[in-house]
């Protein structure tokens, strides 16, 4: 058995027994960097649109991106949030989510006719990127309640920047998936598990760009905060097996709902000229 094959076997065993595993080098670092550059472009574009200088963070790409995110957050919280949400819609990110290495891994995990209950989610954590009165990491939860699809659904969580043990990694409770659904309290972000938890039960899962943390939708996990500082960006996607018997028997339920804003902008946008101009020049 080659080293690679035995490492893969250990990964799959860890997933089954502990409820999670870190798959090293699932993606190429170049592919992750390309996504991060596009994310940077979104924040830079909004700063320019708002007439602001674009800070370079006097450092590498990550420091520059962080400086730009801080600048936009300081300037305009709703635009910062919209930009962060838009990052999850990038095709480069969605292409990774359905790329051949992911499909192969899901097959090895036993998912058949896999489906995505929703688009990927981008998770930004930073001590200088705290949303006033809003999100600052997720408390202990399982992911199954927020999809309610196939029981064997898998979360693939991928760092876009380095996520060491002190840079807000995900921390998980090994073997917590084997208890099935844990009782919790419905909050804005999750079915939060509040009882029976001890900090010592959680294990941190540091990961580098290119790696993927995979965990069961029944594995209890949260954002590590204690002793953490700096900034990190990660993306996660959820996958379900369309052939899981209870999923079929329950008629493919999905807790995610898509809503559409039917109200149009009140300023008459777009005027005919806005539309016709597009067809005279190359598409932007």
Ligand X SMILES: O=C(O)CCC(=O)C(=O)O
Give the footprint of ligand X on this chain (CB under 6 A): 123, 125, 137-138, 143, 155, 157, 170, 221, 223, 234, 236
- Give the helix ranges, DSSP H, for the chain: 3-18, 29-49, 61-75, 77-87, 91-97, 100-108, 144-147, 245-249, 272-278
CB of 141 to ligand X, least distance (A): 7
Considering the complex, state which of residue 70 and residue 143 has its C-beta at the smaller distance from ligand X: 143
Considering the complex, state which of residue 20 and residue 80 has its C-beta at the smaller distance from ligand X: 20
CB atoms within 10 A of CB 76: 16
215 has which bridge partners?
20, 155
- Radius of gyration, alpha carbons of the chain: 20
- How many residues comprise the chain? 284
Sign of CA dihedral 225, 90, 220, 135: positive
Considering the complex, state which of residue 168 and residue 247 has its C-beta at the smaller distance from ligand X: 168
CB of 66 to ligand X, least distance (A): 17
Considering the complex, state which of residue 67 and residue 88 has its C-beta at the smaller distance from ligand X: 88
Say if residues 20 and 172 touch (Cβ distance below 8 Å). Answer: yes
CB of 240 to ligand X, least distance (A): 15
How are beta strands 154-159 and 121-126 bridged, if at all? unpaired
CB of 24 to ligand X, least distance (A): 19
> What are the φ/ψ torsions at residue 146 (nearest 5 degrees)?
-90, 0
Report the alpha-carbon distance of residue 102 to residue 156 in Å, rounded: 9
CB of 107 to ligand X, least distance (A): 22
Considering the complex, state which of residue 65 and residue 170 has its C-beta at the smaller distance from ligand X: 170
In terms of Cα–Cα distance, which of 119, 101, 122 is closest to 39?
Answer: 122
CB of 14 to ligand X, least distance (A): 18
CB atoms within 10 A of CB 255: 12
Considering the complex, state which of residue 36 and residue 234 has its C-beta at the smaller distance from ligand X: 234
Considering the complex, state which of residue 35 and residue 155 has its C-beta at the smaller distance from ligand X: 155
CB of 160 to ligand X, least distance (A): 11
In terms of Cα–Cα distance, which of 169, 125, 118 is closest to 146?
Answer: 118
């Amino acid at each position: 058995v080659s080293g690679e094959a035995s490492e893969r076997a250990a990964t799959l065993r860890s997933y089954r027994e502990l409820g999670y595993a870190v798959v090293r080098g699932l993606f190429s670092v170049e592919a992750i960097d390309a996504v991060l550059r596009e994310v940077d472009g979104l924040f830079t574009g909004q700063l320019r649109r708002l007439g602001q200088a674009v800070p370079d963070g006097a450092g590498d790409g990550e420091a520059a991106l962080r400086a730009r995110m801080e600048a936009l957050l300081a300037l305009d919280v709703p635009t910062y949030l919209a930009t962060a949400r838009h990052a999850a819609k990038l095709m480069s990110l969605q292409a990774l989510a359905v790329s051949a290495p992911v499909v192969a891994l899901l097959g090895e995990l036993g998912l058949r006719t896999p489906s995505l209950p929703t688009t990927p989610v981008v998770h930004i954590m930073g001590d200088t990127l705290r949303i006033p009165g809003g999100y600052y990491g997720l408390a202990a939860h399982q992911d199954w309640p927020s999809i309610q699809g196939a029981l064997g659904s898998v979360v693939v969580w991928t760092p876009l920047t380095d996520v060491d043990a002190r840079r807000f990694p995900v921390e998980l409770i090994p073997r917590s998936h084997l208890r099935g659904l844990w009782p919790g309290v419905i909050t804005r972000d999750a079915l939060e598990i509040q009882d029976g938890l001890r900090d010592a039960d959680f294990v941190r899962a540091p990961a580098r760009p290119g790696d993927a943390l995979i965990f069961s939708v029944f594995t209890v996990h949260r954002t590590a905060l204690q002793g953490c500082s700096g900034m990190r960006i990660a993306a996660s996607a959820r996958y379900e097996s369309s052939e899981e018997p209870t999923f079929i028997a329950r008629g493919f339920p999905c807790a995610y709902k898509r809503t559409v804003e039917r109200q149009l902008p009140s300023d008459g946008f777009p005027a005919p000229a806005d539309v016709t101009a597009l067809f005279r020049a190359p598409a932007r």
